[in-house]
């Protein structure tokens, strides 16, 4: 198991809002910040250099949809994979040509890039409800799941690409192409 570290920032409506939007796109209101951040970092780490620069720069210019009902906690810290974090920080510095990365900016841009990716995936992979009825993956029936949630799970399988995920993805592709 890899080493973990905390990243901390001053709580702000903007920061909390990006996590709320990411969780909303994943249809998981109780999705914790740690999971969202690690998923976002895994996504960013999987990008080619060209894609990385394009996605991060777009995310840095994207206005955050702020949630009015956000209550600011007294502190804001997230436990992340240390090796992954160090790798992404270096890539981040290269993309933005900076020497020191401010944590709130880093968090916002990484999570926003993940949000943008999820929105694109939702548009590209939209499945009809009749197709959802047929999808069974690892013993779970996803018919009661929203299209967005299903697409996000499939997207995470594509990003992580474990042997089990590849098998599941091939089953999904087979079901969809048989339609």
Q: Does 156 share its domain with 105?
A: no
Q: Does 135 share its domain with 79?
A: no
Q: Does 99 share its domain with 163?
A: no
Give the HSE-up count for residue 32: Cα atoms under 13 Å, Cβ half-sphere: 8
Q: Does 36 share its domain with 79?
A: yes
Burial 116-140 (b: 16+ CB within 10 A, else e): ebbeebbeebebeeebbeebebeee
Domain end call among 88, 107, 124 = 124
Its pTM stands at 0.68
Q: Does 26 share its domain with 82?
A: yes
Q: Let me know: does 28 contact 89? Beta carbons within 8 Å.
A: no
Q: Does 132 share its domain with 120?
A: no
Local confidence pLDDT in tens for the 179 residues of the chain: 579 999 999 999 999 999 888 887 765 544 688 989 999 999 999 999 999 999 999 999 998 888 777 788 888 999 999 999 999 999 999 999 999 999 999 999 999 999 999 888 767 766 433 343 444 444 444 444 556 666 767 777 777 777 777 777 777 777 766 65
Q: Does 100 share its domain with 133?
A: no
* Domain of 143, in residue numbers: 126-179
**H and E: helices and strands count for the chain:** 8, 4
Angle at 112 between CA 37 and CA 38, to 5 degrees: 15
Domain end call among 99, 124, 149 = 124
């Amino acid at each position: 198991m890899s080493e973990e570290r905390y990243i901390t920032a001053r709580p702000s409506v903007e920061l909390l809002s990006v996590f709320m939007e990411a969780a909303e796109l994943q249809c998981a209101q109780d999705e914790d910040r740690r999971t969202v951040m690690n998923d976002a970092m895994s996504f960013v780490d999987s990008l080619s250099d060209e894609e990385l620069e394009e996605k991060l720069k777009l995310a840095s210019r994207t206005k955050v949809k702020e949630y009015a009902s956000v209550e600011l906690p007294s502190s804001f810290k997230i436990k992340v994979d240390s090796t992954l974090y160090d790798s992404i920080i270096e890539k981040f510095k290269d993309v933005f040509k900076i020497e020191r990365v401010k944590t709130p900016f880093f968090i916002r841009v990484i999570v926003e890039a993940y949000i943008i990716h999820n929105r694109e995936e939702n548009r590209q992979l939209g499945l009809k409800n009749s197709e959802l009825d047929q999808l069974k993956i690892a013993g779970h029936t996803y018919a009661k799941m929203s299209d967005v949630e299903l697409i996000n799970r499939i997207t995470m399988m594509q990003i992580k690409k474990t042997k089990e995920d590849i098998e599941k993805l091939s089953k999904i592709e087979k079901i969809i192409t048989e339609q």
